[in-house]
Chains A and B, each alone.
Chain A
Amino acid sequence: MNLSVKHTIVLCIVFAGLGSSAEPTGPVMQLFPSTVIEDIRETGKVAEDMENSIQDVISRLDLQQQLYTESMCAGVDQDPGCERIAKQLGATYLELLNIMSDKLPEMERAVTNTRSSLEQRLREELGQKSTPSGLQDTLLGRVSKSDNSYQASALRGRSGIRLSNRFKQYYDLVATRRGGSSQSMAVIASDIYLDMDEASHLIAATQQEISRAALMEQLNQSFGMITPEMSAVVSGVKSILFGESQLDTQIASLPPSKDEQAFVSPLEM
């Protein structure tokens, strides 16, 4: 039996176990059936492939850009050395665009699959099978009032990490979760779905730009120019794939809970 099949079986057992031991405070939800988990894993793998294939080109671009800057080439005309560096830089830039052009459709397909499957689960489980009151029960039900292990979740806006790592974290969250004490599946599903939705738009916009940028650069190759657009595109790619800054949106953490029995009003919902 290969490893991925074993993994899937283990996941099925884990999720079956979660279903049977869930607290009776909220509806049992199937937000992460094995198909969705597999979509997330697949998206992470595609992202990793794309990073690996682009890493080398990005490093070369960085070195060439550094050489260009250190040689004081910016704004210098008619210098054969600078023209050569600029042409090399432009060629590497074209190479980057070509790789992205090759890889993005696969990435787009993987992201779209994950987004669509999560979209359907969210619509059915939280949108159609749940009431607003039920939604609150779902979000609160997993934490008992004296649970000290409750952890605030702050998933959104996690730029600053590699795209593949982000998917790995998502995968770990949904695949290795043990009953009830960590983050809500509803929150995780929402977070991943919104992320996928943004990624879909970003990929579509990038694909539109790539053909135009490639054409422009082919023209520039004739003149050996370094355009600000090149730097912007490279920075953008690095930011999306490899992360740039760590943004942590912390939610207020839970203060130590009291030991005494909390009062429960007969009026309580």
Chain B
Amino acid sequence: MNTSKFLGSLAAIMSLLVLAACESKPVVGFCSVTLKPGLASAIRLAEDKLGNGCEYSFDNYYTQLLNIATENPDPANKQLFSQFLVGVSERGIISKRQAKNTYNRYFNVKFVSLMGDYNTCSQTCPVRGKVMSDMQQELRDKEQGLMRASEDSASYHRADHLFKETQLVLEATCRACEAGGS
């Protein structure tokens, strides 16, 4: 009997401890915010939230920030996003690789989808269709980041041109690789 009472008390104490631990984390409402223009103040708010237990909301905040930038395009937006991503990666909220990929996916002419350290015959040709499909999707993200958010249509058109040239060059190169059995 005494043992069951003891176990019951222990369970109650454990439950209280778990609840207390949960209370120390931000409640869902704390992280679930609608960021408002302008971009700089929205970034500050997002950084504050991310530094106070809302790391899992990074994707949500980033999408909101992009939407704010798209509604308020400015060439300086690119720099604000860069600073934001460098900051959150330095604080360990996202990895450096994630920061780099995220920035380049939206704000650079070059394609994250076409990267790799092995030769083109062995790495890209076997999955050429998927690579091109990923690049197509990335081009849409570049349209949002470069053209609509940063008013940098020149860079977007270079990315568009790079995409088309890559399509042609990969078609020829992969055909040549295949003909040579590599």
In the bound complex, do residue A187 and residue B169 qualify as a contact, i.e. CB atoms below 8 Å apart?
yes
In the complex, which range does the number of interface residues on chain A fall in? Answer: 35 or more
Main secondary structure of the interface of B (DSSP, over half): helix
Chain B residues whose C-beta falls within 8 Å of the C-beta of A251 in the assembled complex: 160-161, 164
Which residues of B47-61 are within 8 A (CB) of A?
none
In the complex, which range does the number of interface residues on chain B fall in? Answer: 35 or more
How far, in whole Å, are A189 and B99 apart by their CA atoms in the complex?
36
B26-51 vs A, Cβ < 8 Å mask (1 yes, 0 no): 00000000000000000000000000
Choice from B100, B121, B165 contacting A139 with Cβ under 8 Å:
B165
- Of the listed stretches B4-12, B13-21, B63-71, B173-181, name the one at the interface; the rest are far from the partner chain: B173-181
Q: How far is the CB of A62 from chain B (nearest CB, A)?
A: 36
How far, in whole Å, are A269 and B110 apart by their CA atoms in the complex?
7
Which residues of B111-130 are within 8 A (CB) of A?
111-112, 114-121, 123-125
What residues make up the interface of A, taking CB atoms closer than 8 Å to B? 118-120, 122-123, 126-133, 135-136, 139-140, 143, 145, 150, 152-153, 156, 184, 186-187, 189-191, 193-194, 197, 251-258, 260, 262-263, 265-269
Q: List 22 A-B contacts (CB under 8 A).
A: A119-B180, A122-B173, A123-B182, A126-B176, A127-B121, A127-B177, A131-B119, A135-B114, A135-B120, A136-B162, A139-B165, A140-B158, A143-B158, A189-B172, A190-B171, A194-B172, A251-B164, A265-B103, A267-B82, A267-B86, A268-B103, A269-B104
What residues make up the interface of B, taking CB atoms closer than 8 Å to A? 75-76, 78-79, 82, 85-86, 99-100, 103-104, 107-112, 114-121, 123-125, 131, 152-155, 157-158, 160-162, 164-166, 168-177, 179-180, 182
